[in-house]
């Protein structure tokens, strides 16, 4: 299988083996909990104004439908796994919203009805979510390099960032695939990022990436699952400024993968800076 003309070979086989044991069947309710937080007070202002204050992706999509020039809304999930959340939204909002969905993933995982967690069965009960008419458009691509044919109003990235070749470039690439003023919502384990063996720095590459967002006055927000500073950031939301293009200057010097089943990665960077055009 070639991804963007690259023959991945054994590496793709290993990725498939790792991904095959992952949770790829998350529902809309799980996305709300992972991305939006547990209470409306957790939602950043630039998201709250798109949800009428509610912590719900459904409300974001509905708001975007009301404010869209043509009434259509495009939601891309990167990587999207089995696409259950996309299918669930398409089924639940059918007739209410012209929703177009895209699943960017290295592998095309089919939807399932067996093997779901009990709460997932409850969320999907009564929905014909496996019906082909609710299937998202599948794009076989690397999240870090994919170019969407149609810019997205909303891009979500749930528990995928820590398995990518270059997490910061993947965030920048997702930003550039948004429509003007579109939303990028990220949740899950933020990868461990360090600088190489040069001078010791007080900040991490991720810290400096956020500082660069501040410097360019890009609206963003972070949150932790536990409200203590020692707990790592698990959520990141970014709003695109008009049709600006983010150019990230950040070189990954090395990538280390642990020996556990989760295969979490640690990245070493040389430097981090960005420019907007």
CB atoms within 10 A of CB 159: 18
Question: Worst-scoring range by mean pLDDT, 61-65, 75-79, 251-255?
Answer: 251-255
Residue 32 DSSP class: I
**At 63, which helix (H) or strand (E)?**
helix 57-67
The answer to whether 236 and 219 are in contact (CB under 8 A) is no
CA distance 61 to 66: 9
pLDDT at 49 over 70: yes
- Residue-range domains of the chain with CATH: 2-276 (3.40.50.150)
pLDDT at residue 12, rounded to an integer: 62
8-26 mean pLDDT: 65
| Radius of gyration for the chain, computed over Cα atoms and rounded to the nearest angstrom | 18
Of 33, 32, 59, the residue nearest 225 (C-alpha): 33
Mean predicted lDDT score pLDDT of the chain: 84
Kindly write down the DSSP assignment for every residue of 67-104, as one continuous string: H-SSSEEEEEETT-TT-HHHHHHHHHTTTT-EEEEEEE
Burial of 166 (0-12, 13-18, 19+ CB in 10 A): buried
pLDDT at 238 over 50: yes
Residue with more model confidence, 263 or 209: 209
């Amino acid at each position: 299988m070639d991804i963007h003309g690259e023959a991945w070979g054994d590496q793709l086989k290993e990725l498939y083996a790792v991904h095959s044991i992952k949770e790829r069947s998350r529902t809309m309710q799980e996305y709300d909990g992972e991305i939006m937080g547990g209470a409306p007070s957790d939602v950043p202002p630039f998201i709250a104004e798109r949800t009428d204050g509610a912590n719900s992706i459904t409300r974001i999509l509905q708001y975007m439908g009301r404010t869209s020039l043509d009434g259509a809304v495009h939601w891309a999930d990167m990587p999207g796994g089995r696409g259950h959340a996309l299918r669930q939204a398409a089924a639940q909002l059918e007739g209410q919203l012209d929703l177009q969905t895209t699943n960017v993933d290295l592998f095309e995982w089919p939807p399932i009805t067996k093997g779901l967690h009990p709460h997932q069965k409850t969320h999907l009960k009564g929905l014909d979510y496996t019906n082909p008419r609710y299937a998202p458009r599948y794009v076989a691509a690397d999240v870090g390099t994919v170019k969407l044919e149609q810019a997205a109003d909303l891009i979500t990235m749930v528990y995928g960032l820590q398995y990518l070749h270059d997490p910061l470039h993947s965030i920048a690439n997702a930003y550039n695939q948004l429509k003007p003023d579109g939303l990028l919502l990220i949740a899950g384990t933020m990868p461990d990022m360090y600088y190489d063996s040069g001078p010791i720095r007080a900040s991490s590459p991720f810290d400096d990436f956020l500082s660069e967002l501040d410097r360019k006055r890009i609206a963003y927000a972070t949150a932790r699952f536990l409200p203590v500073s020692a707990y790592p950031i698990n959520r990141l939301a970014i709003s695109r400024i008009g049709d600006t293009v983010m150019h990230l200057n950040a070189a990954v010097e090395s990538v280390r993968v642990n020996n556990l089943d989760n295969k979490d990665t640690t990245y070493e960077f040389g430097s981090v800076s960005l420019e907007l055009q």
